[in-house]
Chains A and B, each alone.
Chain A
Amino acid sequence: MALLTISSPHTHNNNSTTKVMLTVALATLPGLFVLTGFFGWGTLINIALASVTALAFEAATLKLRQRPVSFYLKDGSALLTALLLGLALPPFTPYWVTIVAVGFAIVFAKQLYGGLGQNPFNPAMAGYALVLVSFPVQLTTTWALSTQMSGQEVLSFAETASAIFTGLPVADAYSGATPLDVYKNLISSGTTDSAANQNTFNGWLNGGWEWANLAFLAGGLFLLYKRIITWHIPVSMLIALSLCSLIIGWDQDLYTPLSLHLLSGATMLGAFYIATDPASASTTPRGKIIYGAGVGVLLYVIRTWGTYPDAVAFAVLLMNFAAPLIDSWTQPRTYGHKKAKRGLPKAN
């Protein structure tokens, strides 16, 4: 009588792609709490909207591609993309901008390339970059201010929701540019003295954005501990960013200081959750270091000399281009080989 024949191994550590996605989502929670605590309900509403949109787009495209819808929906990757976009977008982003970003991320950046794991670009950042270049006003003036920054109470849930879903601009007292943007404008017109006088930079760890970055850092350390990510990309990225800032931008009257680079903007979110997206990043140990360092350098360059205040999306997307090349040139040395192989196979 025939027995069941299957290929070895016959055992598994019970990890799953869904668990990986959910763990990453879990690790963003501290950051999400801090953002909500300091800047109001906007981010939560964005995430809810993005999640619903992402699932709808994912299901629709899977259906069109004649793939099993529920099997792929439960991998959790669409939700994670939505979550990261929701965290990255300004709290008062008009609803239609979020929908466009999510739609582009899911349909174009992910499903049209073949779905989960086949995307050469980080879907969330592709969506973010699209709306950033297409709707710069909506993406730069809709950042919420914390109480510490504006001296006002943050907007209530109803007010925030109404701002997002009507798309009407929020009063200047509640919204504005990001600290990176503000600082850059200040040093182009004045000196750090005037910067320090601004509410935004009033005191150490006071604006809310430092706490958000520290919370994302904590979540990132959790991911490292859970071995969902390795240290290579975040560490090399943060070191590269710091080195650029220390070597080039040591003069605080001319350049944004290191503390602001590390603890404002999307630095920590980018380092631990976005640049580490495995499908679009480099995957060899040495490759990850090069990749992370590349993201760090580009991040500094675009922040300092570019027209956009933050640059995580562009830096990551640019390095996504380079990832396959980096991978083929950074193969590890295999056991029993004198040295690692490099590049493409030699034609015979």
Chain B
Amino acid sequence: MNLTLHRFHGGIHPAQNKEQSTHQPIKSIPLPSQLILPVRQHSGTPAKPIVSVGDSVLKGQVIAEAVGHRSVPIHAPSSGVVSAIEDRTTSHPSGLPELCIIIDTDGLEQWCEHPNLFNKTDCQSLSDLPNEEILEHIQNSGIAGLGGAGFPTALKLYKTKHHTHTLIINGAECEPYITADDMLMRERADHVIQGAQILLHLSEAKRCLIAVEDNKPEAIRALHESLQVLKVNPAIQIVSIPTVYPSGGEKQLIKILTGEEVPTDGIPADIGVICQNVGTAAAVYRAVYFGEPLISRITTATGDAIKQPGNYEVLIGTPLPHFLEHTGYIAQQPERIIAGGSLMGFTLPELNVPLIKTSNCILAPTTSELPLNDLAMECIRCGQCVSACPQGLLPHQLYWFSKAQDHEKAEQHNIFDCIECGACSFVCPSHIPLVQYYRHTKGEIRTERLAQQKSEIARQRYENRNERLARIEAERAAAREARAKAKAEADALREKQEAEAAATASPDSQIEDLERKILAQQDRVTKAQKSHQAAQEANLDTADILFKAVEKQQTKLQQLEQELIALRNNVTQEN
């Protein structure tokens, strides 16, 4: 069965520099006296520590548990005592401290109980078990993608609404210098194949393609041999793909193998594809068949500043200085250590960081080997970057928009589809650090969006408040009107009654009545004057209105007084 391979746009052919770290077999290094375990070694929510300072822990024991689905637990890579739980600088480009569990190892390497999946469940084969149970076992083994991004492995395999047709096991390892996957496939091809079989079973895909770049013939041969010896599922196929960077990028590899593209706002599962790294497959195999959680990995040590370049099986949490000491590192001036390869790796902010689940390579170059970037020239729009971009972007335009801070145009030119592979910078004759520009612009746009969301919420709130106030005011006004109407009706009625009463009442009682009214009115005037005075003293805007109220009350009083005088005159005249 021959597979038709497809091409992705662009790509580059950088110097491989893989040979120097493949001369020796995978070695181990002595147990470090201390292990530093960040609670976040995967992409997603950090794990939550469940041990306390002073606790004794056994090898393989859970020391931090997953929080939610997008998280994996952390296990003790060796036995010892928890000596601290504190913030430490970790292997992250930001250099910001993160919560870490520190274990002082006791050198006994004493395992906790770690039954494999079959002993645990009393089953003979995978098909006897529900997928959920296998996935739970993988999840509890703390496995996150070992290729670099560290996405929780089990999470990718849970059923989605899309049917998976192809499982891709990524052994392309296209990045220069890194040989961790290469050596794994050469030496432990069985693990990879067995792991692939488990993943294939879980994904229920029709086929499983193990893709390896054709610059790794030994690995391809080893996989083929293992495939024949193990007589596994015939749906598993080894595919040799042409060496071109970045063929190991998830999107590019999917394009090469299936001809399909992952939608810009989607994930591979949307087009029926699941991608897992070869290291991840091997880790799944060890978890399922040996009950081993993810407590070690293969890390490449390479670069001219390292005297024994090669691949080392290291415990997760191994401090970098310990690793460098046992790989023959000779410090350079200026000192530069890259986590990852020469194209996408990031420089570590300081030496004292731990190796974590995603640490595939430690590259310590000399300046003659990887010269520091010289001063950038101006962009001459030569278009080399356009030819190199594996995403089909216009890197030179994105650079201009980034420089001009024209975020709208940058977004319209799909800056968020940039995978930061570095192909554009690699070929730029003007040596412009293009990827750095894009990262900066993406960061700015994200910040802007966040601020926009916030201000949108604030605006909404403000409008809601205004609406509410207007509604209350309207209700009040309506109530006031109703009251005034009722009062007017009542007044009219009373006046009518009073007039009737006055017509029949004696003048004396009328005078009495008026005098009572005048007294009440005088009260009102005094009250109005008081509140007017108070307003005036407080210098309030309402003072004017209150003054008018005073005048009104005084006029009423005068009217009443005149009425009284008139009434009295009438009485005197009659008498």
Interface set of A (CB-CB < 8 Å, partner B): 1-13, 15-17, 19-20, 71, 75, 77, 115-118, 227-228, 230, 278-279, 281, 283-285, 327, 331-337, 341, 344-346
Residue of A nearest to B336 (CB): A4
A8 pairs with B381, CB closer than 8 A: no
A334 pairs with B383, CB closer than 8 A: no
* Interface: B445 (CB within 8 A): no
Q: Which chain A residues border B348 with CB–CB below 8 Å? A: 3, 5
B14 pairs with A13, CB closer than 8 A: yes
Q: Report the bound CA distance from A271 to B365 in whole Å.
A: 44
A336 pairs with B264, CB closer than 8 A: yes
* Interface: B56 (CB within 8 A): no
**Given A13-B14, A15-B384, A336-B417, A2 and B349 contact (CB-CB distance below 8 Å):** yes
Closest CB pairs A-B (n = 6): A9-B422, A336-B264, A7-B436, A117-B378, A345-B412, A11-B342
Other-chain contact of B347, A6, A230, A285, A331 (Cβ < 8 Å): A6
Minimum C-beta distance from A166 to chain B (A): 38
**Given A13-B14, A15-B384, A116 and B412 contact (CB-CB distance below 8 Å):** no
Interface residues on B, range: 35 or more
Q: Which chain A residues border B251 with CB–CB below 8 Å? A: 335-336
Minimum C-beta distance from A113 to chain B (A): 11
A12 pairs with B426, CB closer than 8 A: yes
B342 pairs with A16, CB closer than 8 A: no
Q: Which chain B residues border A344 with CB–CB below 8 Å? A: 409, 412
Q: Which chain A residues border B95 with CB–CB below 8 Å? A: 5
Q: Which chain B residues border A279 with CB–CB below 8 Å? A: 380-381
A335 pairs with B380, CB closer than 8 A: no
A15 pairs with B412, CB closer than 8 A: no
Minimum C-beta distance from B324 to chain A (A): 12
* Interface: B392 (CB within 8 A): yes
The residues in B between 314 and 369 inclusive whose CB is less than 8 angstroms from any CB of A are 334-338, 340, 342-351, 363, 365
User: How many residue pairs bridge A and B at CB < 8 Å?
Assistant: 171
Interface set of B (CB-CB < 8 Å, partner A): 8-9, 12, 14-15, 93, 95, 176, 251, 255, 261-264, 266, 334-338, 340, 342-351, 363, 365, 370-373, 375, 377-384, 386-387, 390-394, 396-397, 408-409, 411-414, 417, 420, 422, 425-431, 433, 435-436, 439
Chain A CB within 10 Å — which of B251, B342, B408, B429 has the most? B429
**Given A11-B176, A345-B408, A333 and B380 contact (CB-CB distance below 8 Å):** no
Q: Report the bound CA distance from A128 to B430 in whole Å.
A: 27
Q: Report the bound CA distance from A314 to B411 in whole Å.
A: 35
B338 pairs with A13, CB closer than 8 A: no
28 sampled A-B residue pairs with Cβ under 8 A:
A4-B347, A4-B372, A5-B95, A5-B349, A7-B436, A11-B342, A11-B370, A13-B14, A13-B426, A13-B427, A15-B429, A17-B377, A71-B375, A117-B378, A117-B381, A118-B378, A230-B387, A278-B383, A332-B392, A334-B264, A334-B393, A334-B414, A335-B255, A336-B261, A337-B264, A345-B408, A345-B412, A346-B412
A10 pairs with B417, CB closer than 8 A: no
Chain A CB within 10 Å — which of B262, B349, B351, B380 has the most? B380
Residue of A nearest to B337 (CB): A3
Residue of A nearest to B93 (CB): A5
Chain B CB within 10 Å — which of A5, A327, A333 has the most? A5
A116 pairs with B377, CB closer than 8 A: yes
Q: Report the bound CA distance from A16 to B431 in whole Å.
A: 7
Minimum C-beta distance from A114 to chain B (A): 8
Other-chain contact of A8, B343, B397, B414, B417 (Cβ < 8 Å): B343
B394 pairs with A331, CB closer than 8 A: yes
Minimum C-beta distance from B271 to chain A (A): 10
B429 pairs with A7, CB closer than 8 A: no
A8 pairs with B345, CB closer than 8 A: yes
Q: Which chain A residues border B378 with CB–CB below 8 Å? A: 17, 115-118
Q: Which chain A residues border B386 with CB–CB below 8 Å? A: 283-285, 332
A117 pairs with B380, CB closer than 8 A: yes
Other-chain contact of A17, B373, B429, B433 (Cβ < 8 Å): B429
Q: Report the bound CA distance from A228 to B429 in whole Å.
A: 10
**Given A3-B337, A6-B373, A11-B370, A335 and B391 contact (CB-CB distance below 8 Å):** yes
Minimum C-beta distance from B382 to chain A (A): 5
A5 pairs with B255, CB closer than 8 A: no
A8 pairs with B435, CB closer than 8 A: yes
Q: Which chain B residues border A285 with CB–CB below 8 Å? A: 386
B380 pairs with A116, CB closer than 8 A: yes
Q: Report the bound CA distance from A326 to B532 in whole Å.
A: 74
Q: Report the bound CA distance from A335 to B255 in whole Å.
A: 9
B335 pairs with A4, CB closer than 8 A: yes
Q: Which chain A residues border B429 with CB–CB below 8 Å? A: 15-17, 19-20
A20 pairs with B417, CB closer than 8 A: no
B350 pairs with A12, CB closer than 8 A: no
Other-chain contact of A335, B381, B387, B392, B412 (Cβ < 8 Å): B392
A10 pairs with B343, CB closer than 8 A: yes
Beyond known contacts A278-B380, A344-B412: 6 more, CB 8 A cutoff = A12-B425, A19-B429, A334-B392, A335-B264, A335-B392, A341-B414
**Given A8-B345, A20-B429, A345-B409, A283 and B381 contact (CB-CB distance below 8 Å):** yes
Minimum C-beta distance from A6 to chain B (A): 6
Q: Report the bound CA distance from A334 to B412 in whole Å.
A: 11
Minimum C-beta distance from B251 to chain A (A): 6
Residue of B nearest to A336 (CB): B264
Q: Report the bound CA distance from A344 to B378 in whole Å.
A: 25
Minimum C-beta distance from A14 to chain B (A): 9
B397 pairs with A327, CB closer than 8 A: yes
Q: Which chain B residues border A283 with CB–CB below 8 Å? A: 381, 383, 386, 394, 396-397
Q: Which chain B residues border A11 with CB–CB below 8 Å? A: 14-15, 176, 342-343, 370, 426
Q: Report the bound CA distance from A230 to B345 in whole Å.
A: 31
Q: Which chain B residues border A284 with CB–CB below 8 Å? A: 386, 394
Chain A CB within 10 Å — which of B262, B381, B439 has the most? B381
Q: Which chain A residues border B9 with CB–CB below 8 Å? A: 332, 335
Q: Which chain B residues border A341 with CB–CB below 8 Å? A: 412-414
Minimum C-beta distance from A235 to chain B (A): 15
**Given A3-B336, A13-B426, A20-B382, A336 and B263 contact (CB-CB distance below 8 Å):** yes
Chain A CB within 10 Å — which of B344, B347, B363 has the most? B347
